[in-house]
Amino acid sequence: MKACSLFIKTLLICLTFSALNSCRKSDNRPDYPAGSQENINSWILDSMKVYYYWNNNLPGSPGLNTDPSSFFKGIRNGADRFSALVNPDFPENYPPSLVHALGFDWITLQTSDGQVQTVITLVVPGSGGADKGLSRGDVVKTINGTIPSAGNIASLTSNCILQHSADLELAGKTGLIKVSQLMIAEVPLYSFKIFPSGGKTYGYLFLNSFEDTAVPLFKKAFTAFKQHQVQELIVDIRYNPGGSVPVAAALAAMIAPKTTEGATFVEYRGNAKAGSRKSSFGAELKRLQQAGFAELSAYQLNLNRVYVLTGNHTASASELLINSLRPYITVIQSGQQTLGKDMASFVIKDYRNPQIVPKWEIYPMIFKLYNAEGKGDYSNGLLPDQEVDELSALPLKPFGNLSDPLVQRCLQMNSVMAGKGQVRVESISEKPRVIFDSRVPVDLKTSLTIARPY
């Protein structure tokens, strides 16, 4: 286990040395002036040759006399949707999102009768949007005085982000709601609740990121679950874009009853230079440096199964949680197909002293991820066991509400397994069509990390 816990550190040291060596001996290229496009692009190419999962498919001699963003896009593998090149001086490379600017997300959809409406899907607790009384399910009538439509919602959203504010008029609410930017850290655990249904006690978690700050919140929730003798657990990660592998391991250790400290949580498979290695629960938790396996496993509820609610924004560490739990507990996935981010990354900077390429950072896809049974390769997303769309019942229900279609399906499934009911099949024709979704940028820029780069 000690060797496993040292894997990432050793790998970083070895690959960094290899990258530095590559920078010194790179295909007999001339010494380009510091800060030039050729110099920056040479560093990008040399780094990608060492770290990148698809390093064998990089172009042999790409032209270096182009802007770094275009160069990076040009050498990125066609199967790679998520590698990123970032520089704070060029924010267009890492565009902000509505939720990070104002604390909420919305979608614009067209209902079966042809009506177009913009609906708030998520409000971050403690954000400017929450403080102003915005709620999931609110219908937005006007944005900065303009009625949102299929043709203008993208530009209206961009303007709200750029202006760091939005004046909203909501259906059923009087007056204008002015939301301004309030910079807060993402709240990993929005809420947890305990409720009875069908003669059983359920615990419910709405988890929206795998930030390091989540672990104390996990402990608080599971303490309440144990006190109330929760028998069934619902983990709602339908909007969770991911985060840290060790935090996902921490939650898995609290859920799955058949795990041990030395049991494999994840297998990393990289290119020929990186190789592959299995990492145990204990090794991942050691890197987290917040709680060990013995402490976290004491919160286990002796569950027979766990219900996981997913959507097309479920990605990265969220998908890893589902896949890595499956060897140890029955996972019933309800909702929609996940995004398909089955790879991990860490940040690459210019570690030379002095730096030749300051500010630029690469977030390349480095490892494919597999579970203890060697199962992975879900780049197209994880398919749900029970397909259900939250938009099948409008207005959107609060997270954890028993009338929410995803929660409702879990309760139905439990009744079916107990021989007391049947699953209701949705009418596909009644579902609205999503025209615009403000959360898409979050999907693209949240990396599953094996070392915390953000």
Q: What is the pLDDT of residue 450?
A: 58
Mean pLDDT of 137-163: 97
Topology of 189-344+367-426 in CATH?
A: 2-enoyl-CoA Hydratase; Chain A, domain 1 (3.90.226)
User: For the residues of 312-373, what is the DSSP string, one character each?
Assistant: TT--THHHHHHHHHTTTSEEEEEES------EEB--B---SSS-SS-S-EEE---EEEE-TT
Per-domain residue ranges of the chain? 2-87, 104-180, 189-344+367-426
| Paired sense of beta strands 276-280 and 264-269, if any | antiparallel
Q: Is the pLDDT of residue 354 over 70?
A: yes
Task: Give φ, ψ of 378 to 5 degrees.
Answer: -115, 45
- Measured in Å, how far apart are the chain's first and last C-alpha atoms? 27
pLDDT, tens digit, 9 for 90 and up, residues 94-135 = 667 899 889 999 999 998 889 999 999 999 998 888 999 999
Q: What is the pLDDT of residue 289?
A: 87
For 420, residues 6+ apart whose C-beta sits below 8 A from its C-beta are: 198
Q: What is the pLDDT of residue 251?
A: 99
Please, are residues 126 and 184 in contact by the beta-carbon 8 Å criterion? yes
pLDDT, tens digit, 9 for 90 and up, residues 163-176 = 999 999 999 999 99
| Alpha-carbon gap, residue 357 to 352, rounded angstroms | 9
pLDDT, tens digit, 9 for 90 and up, residues 158-208 = 999 999 999 999 999 999 999 997 656 678 999 999 999 999 999 999 999
**Paired tokens of 276:** 């592959």
Homologous superfamily (CATH) of 104-180 is: PDZ domain (2.30.42.10)
CB count in 10 Å sphere of residue 383: 12
pLDDT, tens digit, 9 for 90 and up, residues 402-420 = 999 999 999 998 876 655 5
Looking at 27-36, 37-46, 286-295, which range is the least confident one? 27-36
Looking at 214-228, 259-273, 380-394, 426-440, which range is the least confident one? 426-440
Q: Is the pLDDT of residue 70 over 50?
A: yes
- The pTM of this model reads 0.90
Mean pLDDT of 257-265: 96
